[in-house]
Amino acid sequence: MRITWLLLLASTGVWGQSIDRGTVAGTGHHPVAPLTTEPKVVWETKTGYRDSTGMVASGNVLVTGNPNGDGGTYAYDLATGKRLWRVPGHIRGTPAVDETSAYAVNAVPKGYRFRLSKLDLKTGKAQWSYDDEDLGGGTPLLVGNVVVLVSENKRIITALDRGTGTRLWQHEQLRVCDARLAAADGILYFGGGLAGEFRMLTALDPATGRVHWSVGQGCEGVPAVAAGMVVMGQGRDLVTVDARSGAIRDTRAVAPKADGRTQPLNMSYPVLQGGVYFAATTTHVLGWEVTSGRVVFEYRFPAPTELSKTVITAAGGVLYVAAVEHQQEGTVTRSSAMVSAIDIAGQRLLWRRRADTPDKYSPNSAWAVGYLLPVEAGLIYDNPGVLVRLGS
């Protein structure tokens, strides 16, 4: 079968995986040195069974959490994996961090309410807290002196003063497509529109909530920002918007052609690096040049993967991909969780390792890696019940 990859990125509906891209602009690219040689385990920490939420790091502290079970926001020593502190309450979204603090949303034990807290990064002690029954939808986003987040029902955006926790502004009755926000150069972006507006993309002033512009129709996609462009999927199109003016620069159809026929194409959440969009399918990792739609990167997985259990991120010219791969051996399908590092320039595999963590309940299961966090010359991944740091 002859396949020609046309243009760019598949869009929402097929992006709805439990993946947080972990960077302010939502690009999935982390500004640290990559791990390019065969890795070794620096530390492995047993966390007890937990569902995954995203991981972030600042200084020598790793912050993550558990949205179910015992719940909580957790901090670990980045060098040793030792747990430093825990704040109780089922976490919502991925924490945010700056140089001294973590910002996390946890469920309040009594009543259906949520609490956004600014926590001391070393001790977990709350510096301020803001309670509301409508919090808890997405990851807090730090933009200048403001922390912004989307409500659980995706109808409200709230902005608080980063230093005091005082509410600065709030937009209600919104149509927010996804709780993941993006920001760059002092502008906040969300997929969706204000009350009564079925918009594709809206830009706000994070300090005041004033609308800069709102464009397009429909409510799909998660914005990513780089090089003065906001890029997002809508339907079967990829739309590129001028980040300052809101002018739509380009709209490209999304689909590969196989044997001369256009085919649907489901893909992971994307990674945007150096003007190239990268995303995983069940058989490939592909990269397209944003300005031309030309395929500039293609790497085939050794075995078919399960898209809902695939994670992709990047650091310093290297793509990290975690996937559950399926090998057919006669009538038996064997599954393995794998983590791979792929050199972007050379389009070649740097290293690859198994990431299975079977337990007494499922000794033969390949638990999927939920999140990947690049750190300086290393990589952290999680499975239910374990955090692992790899290094050289």
CATH number at residue 13: 2.130.10.10
Contacts of residue 112, Cβ cutoff 8 Å, sequence gap at least 6: 133
pLDDT score of 124 more than 90: yes
Q: Are 181 and 143 in contact (CB under 8 A)?
A: no
Torsion angle defined by CA atoms of residues 150, 172, 209 and 249, in that order, rounded to the nearest 10 degrees = 70
Tens of pLDDT, residue by residue over 69-110, are 778 899 999 999 999 999 998 888 889 999 999 999 998 877
Q: How far apart are CA 55 and CA 386, in angstroms?
A: 13
Bridge partners of 103?
96, 118
Give the highest mean pLDDT range of 105-114, 138-147, 157-166, 252-261.
157-166
Which whole number is the average pLDDT over 327-337?
82
Number of folded domains that form the chain: 1
Q: Tell me the DSSP string of 190-249.
A: ESEESTT---SEEEE-TTT--EEEEE-SS-----EEETTEEEEEETTEEEEEETTT--EE
Sole residue written with tokens 């969706």: 192
Bridge partners of 7?
254
Higher pLDDT, 180 or 340: 340
Instruction: Quote the pLDDT of residue 15.
Output: 28
Q: Which residues span the domain enclosing 339?
A: 3-391
Least confident of 3-7, 90-94, 267-271: 3-7
Least confident of 4-18, 69-83, 234-248, 343-357: 4-18
Instruction: Quote the pLDDT of residue 206.
Output: 95
370-380 residues labelled b (16+ CB within 10 A) or e (exposed): bbbbbbebbbb
pLDDT score of 26 more than 70: no
pLDDT score of 363 more than 80: no
Higher pLDDT, 222 or 118: 118
